[in-house]
């Protein structure tokens, strides 16, 4: 497969992601046995991963999407809702789907926000985890791949809104930044 000219090297291939989503799908559906969770995808980065993941969840699952932008206030991280959820999540179990966890600030505030909207349970699944970047105490319940602290693109992840469509996760070339 042809590499995009701005990609230095592939970190996780399409096939590795497809295989990992099969495993995650099984584990997740075992956890939600007997109930119908709502997969909440954070736009836009989670879309390719969410699409691959839900195809591998054998049980019933609903989907909703949210777009937030998080920024650091004086003492804590604030989150601005750009697009809110469509349906009610009161007393529902939520599977928050994210592309990558770096500092952890985004999922921490979104998790709290979902509980404040009345969610019964919020679990997190992330395609990628950069544990070296963590600044707040939060972790995913399921992770696709742990990666080193490098800037990555593809499979939903962007640099200036580009490269989200690449079918793999790769490290961007210095010359493209």
Contacts with ligand IMP, residue ranges (CB under 6 A): 45, 70, 98-106, 151-152, 157
Q: Minimum Å distance from CB 114 to ligand IMP?
A: 15
For residue 133, which of 145, 148, 123 has the smallest C-alpha distance? 148
Residue 103 interface partner, choices ligand IMP, Mg ion, none, CB cut-off 5-8 Å depending on type? ligand IMP
Residue 84 designated active-site:
no
Q: Minimum Å distance from CB 23 to ligand IMP?
A: 22
> Interface with Mg ion includes 48 (CB under 5 A)?
no
DSSP tag of 4: P
The CA R_g of the chain, rounded to the nearest whole Å, is 16
DSSP assignment string, 53-70: HHTT--S--EEEEEEEEE
Are 45 and 96 in contact by the 8 Å Cβ rule? The answer is no
> Considering beta carbons, is residue 26 or 162 the nearer one to Mg ion?
162
> Interface with Mg ion includes 154 (CB under 5 A)?
no
């Amino acid at each position: 497969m042809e590499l995009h000219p701005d990609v230095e090297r592939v970190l996780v291939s399409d096939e590795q992601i497809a295989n990992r989503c099969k495993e995650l799908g099984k584990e997740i559906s075992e956890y939600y046995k007997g109930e119908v969770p709502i997969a909440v995808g954070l736009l836009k980065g989670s879309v390719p991963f969410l699409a691959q993941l839900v195809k591998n969840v054998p049980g019933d699952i609903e989907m909703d999407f949210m777009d937030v932008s998080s920024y650091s206030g004086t003492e804590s991280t604030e989150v601005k809702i750009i697009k809110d959820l469509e349906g009610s999540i009161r007393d529902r179990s939520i599977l928050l789907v994210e592309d990558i966890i770096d500092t952890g600030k985004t999922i921490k505030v979104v998790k709290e926000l979902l509980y404040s909207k009345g969610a019964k349970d919020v679990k997190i699944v992330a395609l990628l985890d950069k544990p070296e970047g963590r600044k707040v105490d939060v972790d995913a319940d399921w992770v696709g791949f742990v990666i080193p602290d490098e800037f990555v693109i593809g499979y939903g992840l962007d640099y200036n809104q580009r490269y989200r469509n690449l079918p793999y996760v790769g490290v961007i070339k210095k010359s493209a930044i």
